Amino acid sequence: MNDHLFRIAGKFQLDGKVKEVNPLGEGFINDTYIVITEEGFRYILQRKNKKVFSPIPAMMENIEKVCRHIKAKVKKTGGDPMREAMTIIPAHDGKLYFLDEDDEYWAVCLFIEDTIAYEAAETPDLAYAGGKGIGKFQSLVADLKEPLTDILPGFHHIRIRYEQWDKVLSKDPVGRKAKVTEEISWIESRREEMMNFWRLVEEGTIPTRVSHNDTKINNILFDKKGEVLCVIDLDTVLNSTVLNDFGDAIRYYTNTGKEDDENLDRVSMDIEIFRAFTRGYLKEAGSFLTQKELEYLAFSARYITYEQVLRFLMDYIDGDNYYKVKSEDHNLIRTRAQYKLLVSMEEQYDEMKKAISELGF
Ligand code: GN1
Ligand code: MG
């Protein structure tokens, strides 16, 4: 495998000869490695998951457009475009990816040195900085005029998720459905309120904009002063409601437990972290959000967390085809932990709304 990875890394326009290739992180979708050259330069190498993102060349074009746009703006305001935006390293033939003999797609970007990536928002200060970072990212890409290809149709689109869900449930391909009747009822009992929200997006009452769609804290690089330097993992940039970015970040930042915590007592929504993230987010995004977006800001956290419960449970019933799993029940454990978080958000919903109005929105 390592020989193969060396060979793949050698297909890209790196500075220097490849010295080391090591696995990095625990992404659920792509395989990620860090490449070090003899000269000491570091790069991120990824095998992109073509079952999830399709077509990969269009995804890489999307990423390149977003990076180019951010770099130009950072330059104008006197920032460092090599540190405040991702830099895609093309293959020797100039393409933004390399297709190997097994028909797998690979891509490389520059590793940004002297940054910190967190796995959890341990303090309100960090959540505040993260909120500012996501708001700033959205405002940087708000005026991107070039169209993006929808390489993930139906990604945070609950109508399409229900179509997938209904299909998987009627097939029950590995016979797991009978084991999870209670969990299925969690999804069914909230169908209407989720569709009511999504209809506002479909009708255009809630606008769509360029959004990130995967705003976990580890998709952000912080500098040593604790400020957001660069938002990474741009595979999912697309036109959708920016509420999904806020909601997904709240799902991740405010969780007092882990996404796949087996001890449900540890899982809940931390309202202090919610307040801090939201304060940071609205500092940057408050000026461009519409009244309707603001009205549904708190609800978006419930929407995305609910969708995540559905996606984990659907993958469990489907026989674990989408997410990488560490055990047979991993997707079920994730389902239960995310559901506990959802209930905690529902219980604190009034508090969440109050926190937003106290910020003056
Ligand atoms: C996936 O690969 P990663 O960890 O960045 C997923 C997100 C989920 C997340 C669950 C393209 O993201 O949507 O929220 O796992 N990405 C895709 O933690 O499906
Ligand atoms: Mg990701």
> Domain boundaries in the chain?
2-110, 124-358
What was the pLDDT predicted at 102? 96
What residues have a C-beta under 5 A from ligand 2, the ion?
A: 214, 233
Nearest residue (by CA) to ligand 1, atom 1, is 28
Closest CA to 165 of 184, 146, 149: 184
What was the pLDDT predicted at 1? 62
Percent of the chain residues topping a pLDDT of 70? 100
What was the pLDDT predicted at 340? 98
Q: Give the C-alpha separation, 214 to 70, whole Å.
A: 18
Nearest residue (by CA) to ligand 1, atom 5, is 27
What are the tens digits of pLDDT across the range 109-129?
999 999 999 999 999 999 999
What was the pLDDT predicted at 27? 82
Query: Which CATH number is correct for 124-358, 3.90.1200.10, 3.40.50.80, 1.20.120.850, 3.65.10.10?
Result: 3.90.1200.10
Query: Which CATH number is correct for 2-110, 3.20.20.70, 2.160.10.10, 3.40.190.10, 3.30.200.20?
Result: 3.30.200.20
pTM: 0.96
What was the pLDDT predicted at 112? 97
Distance 337 CA to ligand 1 centre (A): 16
C-alpha distances in Å from residue 321, one per residue of 103, 174, 313, 331 = 19, 11, 12, 10
Asked if 184 and 335 count as a contact pair (C-beta separation under 8 A), the reply is no
> What stretches in the chain show pLDDT beneath 70?
1
- Residue 154 zone, left/alpha/beta (φ > 0; ψ -120 to 50; rest): left
